[in-house]
Amino acid sequence: MVSMHKPGRTMVIEVLVIGTSPPCPRCDLLLRRVEEVEAESKLDLAVSHRSFGEPEVVALGEKLGRRIGTAKQVAEVSGIPMRWHQITDLIARSKKAAGAKAVPADAWTPELDALLEPCQNAADAAGYFMTPILVVDGEVKHHGSVPTKEQIRGWLARS
């Protein structure tokens, strides 16, 4: 993890984006939004991305009393019937529309978050933090969808 210290700032804010590896559109978009907020601000951030299955991420979930996982895992333990083919088709169409140089975040659409909303709504009751997950200084600030840059700025400003 590389931290770029900005002049005049002494406190480094540790920001962790937990997602899938390789990153899905939602996880990639969250990381990109955090990086954009960092570039636009005077905040000194140490930003890292980790996969939900890495041992230190699993340990963080255990420490916080939750499992860390994906929408598929939440759907499975919650008994939520999902049309996964509809989700993968949407991602494929969005990626194709974005062109050959598309990054995973380019395949994100609000419709994707809407399709996964039942899983997000069930995650807390199922004992999960659902990807993508934003952790600031060890505290989960958001999970299960892609927050706006304004929300991210607010969470970072209060750290």
> In this model, does residue 2 exceed pLDDT 60?
no
Q: Measured between alpha carbons, how far is 47 from 135 in angstroms, rounded to an integer?
A: 10
For the chain, the structural domain boundaries read 13-157
Which helix (H) or strand (E) segment holds residue 51: the answer is: strand 45-51
Quote the mean pLDDT of the chain. Answer: 92
Contact in structure between 58 and 28 (CB atoms under 8 Å) = no
Question: Between 159 and 50, whose confidence is greater?
Answer: 50
Tell me what pLDDT residue 112 has: 95
Instruction: Compute the average pLDDT of residues 85-91.
Output: 96
Tell me what pLDDT residue 8 has: 52
> In this model, does residue 4 exceed pLDDT 70?
no
Question: What distances in angstroms separate CA 98 from CA 20, 24, 85, 105, one per listed residue?
Answer: 21, 15, 20, 10
Tell me what pLDDT residue 5 has: 43
Q: What Rg value do the Cα atoms of the chain yield, rounded?
A: 16
For residue range 103-156, list pLDDT tens digits in order: 999 999 999 999 999 999 999 999 999 999 999 999 999 999 999 999 999 999
